[in-house]
Amino acid sequence: MFPVNYIAQRLTISTLALIPAIALAGPIDTLIPAPVPAPDSEFRLVLIEENPALSIDGRDRHYTNGNQISLLSPILQNGSWIDMPFRWLEQNTFLFIKPGETTDNRLEWLILGQAIFTPQDHHLSNPSTSDRPYAGWLFTGLNLIQNQDDHVLTSLELQAGVVGSWALGHQIQNSFHALLGDSLARGWGHQLGNQFGFVVTWNRDWRFDHQLRNGYSWELIPTVGLAAGDVYTYGQAGGIVRWGLGLNATWGPDLFPGPGYPGTAYFDPKRTKTGWGFDFYGGAVGRLMAVNVFLDGNTLQNSRSVAETVPVGDLLIGAEFFFQDRFRIGFTAILRSPEFREQHGPDSFGGVTASFNF
């Protein structure tokens, strides 16, 4: 377990780096909520931070930091130019469902995101070749989100950016280690080489809701997803169970984009009858990995690499709270099974997300 001062240091690093149970169900028809008219809302600023220091037993290794800042749009007006990609995809592909009267389309701009990966031992200037290599991932992107009558949530996300020294993982990590008097990671000279990176991710969630009294409810949200690109290629499936007040405002936690449970920035408290809400959740997701550039090494040049584990799984628990449309905040703890064959034990990390109306 980390001492308090260590966790405080890591939280400071993460913040500055980028500014950044189940009750028995009734009949199946009780599991589907009645459609709710889609209200309008304002733009939202969304901040995400993930770090091993946010986990009780996390170790500063492997996936050492991920943070992102994004902007979530209001409901897109039907017929507007910005809604055109949704209309084309709804009419010509299977990726989105044909819209109904209460379909809610949103656009999320991933302004900037960064992930940092390191081996276990930061003190070696020439890291072990049996451990995962140093790597950074700096990206931007767009996420198309469709909420179909509060029954089905679909997202199609494109990330594009750079892997390697251009991703500034070395500078970000060691600058703040030096600022706080922490030891430097000395093996960045062996990080992956520079390459353009992209990944297209499609996810679909279903909501099965069971209403309780006084606005409380519990629900099951299964999920499936596919990703393709030179950064990640995989297929996954899983789900979460949630209990709380005002669940229709969200579809579960918002998490850093990448392999794992597909968190979402979707948020609309006006879909609930309460001025505030909260929920507790737990779940799991499993995936089969075909490409992970941060383990496989560079696509078109020689670099360090390790043999990745094809099946990988995550367990997650967490909670979130919102007050009207002013703010939403949540915390998630994640336990991830080994991602490469020489890895000793699972990794754990925590994630904090916050969004604000403006």
Instruction: Find the range with the poorest average confidence among 25-29, 39-43, 111-115.
Output: 25-29
**Would you tell me the crossing angle of helices 4-18 and 169-179 to the nearest 10 degrees?**
130
For residue 142, count CB atoms less than 10 angstroms from its CB and return exposed for 0-12, middle for 13-18, buried for 19 or more.
middle
Question: Residue 30 above 90 pLDDT?
Answer: no
Grade residue 299 by pLDDT with cuts at 50, 70 and 90. Answer: very high
Which domains are assigned to the chain? 4-357 (2.40.128.140)
> Whose CA is closest to 71, among 108, 31, 113?
108
Distance separating alpha carbons of residues 303 and 267, to the nearest angstrom: 41
The model's confidence at residue 178, banded by pLDDT at 50, 70 and 90, is confident
State what percent of residues in the chain have pLDDT above 90: 77
pTM of the model: 0.86
Quote the DSSP letter at residue 308. B
Query: pLDDT for 225-244, tens place per residue?
Result: 999 999 999 999 999 999 99
Q: How far apart are CA 120 and CA 133, in angstroms?
A: 10
In the predicted structure, residue 28 carries a pLDDT above the cut 70 = no
Give the pLDDT band of residue 41 (cuts 50, 70, 90).
low
Would you say residue 37 has pLDDT above 90?
no
pLDDT (average), residues 270-291: 94
Confidence bin at 22 (pLDDT 50/70/90): very low
Q: Is 140 a residue whose pLDDT tops 70?
A: yes
Tens of pLDDT along 52-80?
999 988 888 999 999 999 999 999 988 78
Beta strand 44-51 pairing with 104-118: unpaired
Chain mean pLDDT for the chain: 89
